[in-house]
Amino acid sequence: MSPIPSQAASQRIRPAATAPELLRNFCIIAHIDHGKSTLADRMLQLTGVVEARAMRAQYLDRMDIERERGITIKSQAVRMPWAYIGEDGVEQPFALNMIDTPGHVDFTYEVSRSLAACEGAVLLVDAAQGIEAQTLANLYLALDNDLEIIPVLNKIDLPAAQPEKYAEEIAGLVGVDPSDVLKVSGKTGQGVGELLDRIVQRVPAPVGDPDAPSRAMIFDSVYDTFRGVVTYVRVVDGALNPRERISMMSTRATHELLEIGVISPEPIPTTGLGVGEVGYLITGVKDVRQSKVGDTVTSLHNGATEALSGYSDPKPMVFSGLYPIDGSDYPVLRDALDKLKLNDAALNYEPETSVALGFGFRVGFLGLLHLEIVRERLDREFGLDLISTAPNVIYDVVQEDGSEVHVTNPSEFPGGKIKEVREPIVRATILAPSEFIGAIMELCQTRRGDLLGMDYLSADRVEMRYTLPLAEIVFDFFDHLKSKTRGYASLDYEPSGEQVADLVKVDILLQGEQVDAFSAIVHKDKAYAYGVMMTSKLKDLIPRQQFEVPIQAAVGSRVIARETIRAIRKDVLAKCYGGDISRKRKLLEKQKEGKKRMKTIGRVDVPQEAFIAALSSEQSTKDSKESKKK
């Protein structure tokens, strides 16, 4: 999250805690690309916590992957001083704790944890695009946490901006007058000072008992190679001071506070943290499992007896198997996942084995972008080469005898008679221009969607609500939605229970042997298409053997698709210059017998490259083929 403080920073010890009435805790919430990180940059500059020479774009996006993709993945907390001039003309120094949050639906859990550490939220909307699906989702999250909402229109400097039109949209949504919607530009800095003043005026001061036993909520943590676990907390009651002994209430672990401080925006040690303050703790602990997000920190002596409510555990939406290409990297992968779990509380994993791929982990993700980011971080930060199996969701299978099986992996799908299969469904919200209603309806119907309702936000913008199977939208639904609406549609979804569906397991057989890594659970209507796609893909990827290899796709005992890899044949007739035809036939028959015998004892070895290509998306396979041709 933040680097280790330099020696110079360590010597700048800040005074003890600020009075709660002079604190304001707020976060910035918005849809993807509506300018949260750019607005945060201007706030850092205006309050003077970052010098002009040290300033760079998206200052709080610390990971390389965030800067390359232009998205925020991790929430970042930073403390800023602000001199507010009241109505009486007297200048009053305030401390503002600002949290910059992600915008993508896969990182909603990061947003929910950040909201729990705040009293107010800046709801940011792009003045050229208006309200989008994730804007609504984040607004409802903020309202659930009883936060003070400050509506703001960003990017008013754009030629395509329509501030008056979208100010009315926001006003209708939040229930304020259009004139109360602030208009700012994160790029030029216009209106940012007025926004900070509005935050001081409108966001309530944190409430807590300074004389009660200390209680602080862990809302994030990060592993530092040199200093161990760095824990980020919001103090609710009492105060925490350096060198005191603390206790983690859920794990009962006790530690000494080696360092305590605030992030402004680099870590700066202080002489304590009081009610309502947001800061970091360093205890020198190396075991990542001892700092659990949502846990309550209290003093060891005369500490609190009742823990804070914590956070609801995120439920994984998509599962995928992660296997090291080199089997000896398994312990490294386990340690890497442990460290990522500290930094990413939404990550779930358990060990599993595969006949084809060896030892690995079954990992739960919040979505495909989350999966992609975790894979890339494992590659960059820990140098791991991994194979990931095709993502799938959780199914509940009820057998004829009434027993229920929880299936997170196609290999767990039971054989025999099945009474019903239940799949997870989601409630999806799609916002788009009204001209694309037909295209969106067609797409949702092909994905087994049910229309729940439709509302016009304005004359030319519509909100559509659908119930869709999660398995139908986690793979390429968003890509198809964007292409059908020329990029104007936005999507948000939340879990909405289960439904009974006609699902089957498609097995891929190589020479009659099942390869568990290629199995998939699909709807009965799409089983044939999946079988044809997988068999033809494997035919191109698996090298030819000395004998003929059949590749089959089967549902139960019924084969639904087949491709054959032809055998490599030696030209046994090369030495026959003319002569009797019976001699040639004898040689060919002898070769045929040899091939037949070899087929009965031969085994097909699938190279790792074939696994990687077959389990990746079709597009990436096409790209790799094109690059080979070049």
Q: Which of 348, 365, 391 is the last residue of a domain?
A: 391
Q: Does 374 score more than 60 pLDDT?
A: yes
Q: Are residues 417 and 467 in the same domain?
A: yes
pLDDT band at 574 (very low <50, low <70, confident <90, very high): low
- pLDDT value of residue 573: 65
Domain containing residue 587: 504-629
pLDDT band at 290 (very low <50, low <70, confident <90, very high): low
Point out the least confidently predicted range of 48-57, 160-169, 171-180, 197-206.
48-57
Rounded average pLDDT over 472-490: 77
pLDDT band at 622 (very low <50, low <70, confident <90, very high): very low
Q: Are residues 147 and 160 in the same domain?
A: yes
Residue 278 pairs in a beta bridge with 234
Q: Does 558 score more than 80 pLDDT?
A: yes
What's the rounded Cα separation, in Å, for the pair 353 and 330? 11
Q: Does 44 score more than 60 pLDDT?
A: yes
Q: Does 66 score more than 60 pLDDT?
A: no
Give the CATH number, domain containing residue 270. 2.40.30.10
Q: Are residues 92 and 114 in the same domain?
A: yes
Q: Are residues 154 and 221 in the same domain?
A: no
What is the overall mean pLDDT for the chain?
76
Q: Does 472 score more than 60 pLDDT?
A: yes
In a domain, 193, yes or no: yes
Q: Which of 479, 501, 523 is the last residue of a domain?
A: 501
Between 71 and 207, whose confidence is greater?
A: 207
In a domain, 350, yes or no: yes
Q: Please tell me which of 185-189, 328-332, 612-616 the model is most confident about, judged by mean pLDDT.
A: 328-332
Q: Are residues 358 and 469 in the same domain?
A: no
The closest of 219, 242, 239, 181 to 97, measured between CA atoms, is 219
pLDDT band at 53 (very low <50, low <70, confident <90, very high): low
In a domain, 304, yes or no: no
The pTM of this model reads 0.65
Point out the least confidently predicted range of 68-77, 207-216, 366-375.
68-77
Between 289 and 207, whose confidence is greater?
A: 207
In a domain, 453, yes or no: yes
- pLDDT value of residue 68: 52
The 3-state DSSP class for residue 504 equals strand
* Residue 436 backbone dihedrals phi, psi, to 5 degrees: -100, 10
pLDDT band at 624 (very low <50, low <70, confident <90, very high): very low
Q: Does 344 score more than 80 pLDDT?
A: no
pLDDT in tens, 230-254: 888 888 888 888 888 888 777 777 8
Q: Does 490 score more than 60 pLDDT?
A: yes
3-state secondary structure 154-199: ECCCCCCCCHHHHHHHHHHHHCCCHHHCEECCCCCCCCHHHHHHHH
Q: Are residues 458 and 418 in the same domain?
A: yes
Between 611 and 387, whose confidence is greater?
A: 387
Q: Are residues 617 and 536 in the same domain?
A: yes
Give the CATH number, domain containing residue 98. 3.40.50.300
pLDDT in tens, 135-150: 777 787 788 778 888 8
Rounded average pLDDT over 455-481: 81
- pLDDT value of residue 550: 85
Rounded average pLDDT over 112-134: 79
Q: State how many domains the chain has.
A: 5
Binding region: 33-38, 154-157
In a domain, 364, yes or no: yes
Do the strands 148-154 and 120-126 form a parallel or antiparallel pair, or are they unpaired?
A: parallel
The 3-state DSSP class for residue 285 equals coil
Q: Does 517 score more than 50 pLDDT?
A: yes
User: Which amino acid type is present at position 81?
Assistant: P
Q: Are residues 286 and 374 in the same domain?
A: no
Between 343 and 201, whose confidence is greater?
A: 201
- pLDDT value of residue 616: 54
Between 503 and 8, whose confidence is greater?
A: 503
In a domain, 210, yes or no: no
- pLDDT value of residue 76: 67
Q: Are residues 341 and 263 in the same domain?
A: no
pLDDT band at 501 (very low <50, low <70, confident <90, very high): confident
Q: Which of 327, 361, 391 is the last residue of a domain?
A: 391
What's the rounded Cα separation, in Å, for the pair 599 and 281? 64
Give the CATH number, domain containing residue 568. 3.30.70.2570
Query: Among residues of the chain, what percentage have pLDDT more than 90?
Result: 0
Structure tokens at 523: 């709807």
Binding region for GTP: 33-38, 154-157
Q: Are residues 367 and 405 in the same domain?
A: no
- pLDDT value of residue 499: 86
In a domain, 30, yes or no: yes
C-alpha pair distances (Å), 440 with each of 31, 417, 614: 20, 37, 30
Q: Are residues 156 and 283 in the same domain?
A: no
pLDDT band at 314 (very low <50, low <70, confident <90, very high): low
Contact (Cβ atoms closer than 8 angstroms) between residue 313 and residue 352: no
Contact (Cβ atoms closer than 8 angstroms) between residue 72 and residue 138: no
pLDDT band at 310 (very low <50, low <70, confident <90, very high): low
In a domain, 8, yes or no: no
pLDDT band at 109 (very low <50, low <70, confident <90, very high): low
pLDDT band at 35 (very low <50, low <70, confident <90, very high): confident
- pLDDT value of residue 7: 36
What's the rounded Cα separation, in Å, for the pair 97 and 277? 8
Q: Are residues 166 and 67 in the same domain?
A: yes
- pLDDT value of residue 15: 44
Q: Does 630 score more than 70 pLDDT?
A: no
Cα 135 off chain centre by: 17
Q: Does 491 score more than 50 pLDDT?
A: yes
Q: Does 6 score more than 50 pLDDT?
A: no
Rounded average pLDDT over 95-114: 67
Per-residue b or e along 297-330, where b marks 16 or more CB atoms closer than 10 Å to that residue's CB: bbbeeebbeebbebbeebebbbbbbbbbeeeebe
Query: Among residues of the chain, what percentage have pLDDT more than 70?
Result: 79
* Residue 400 backbone dihedrals phi, psi, to 5 degrees: -60, -30
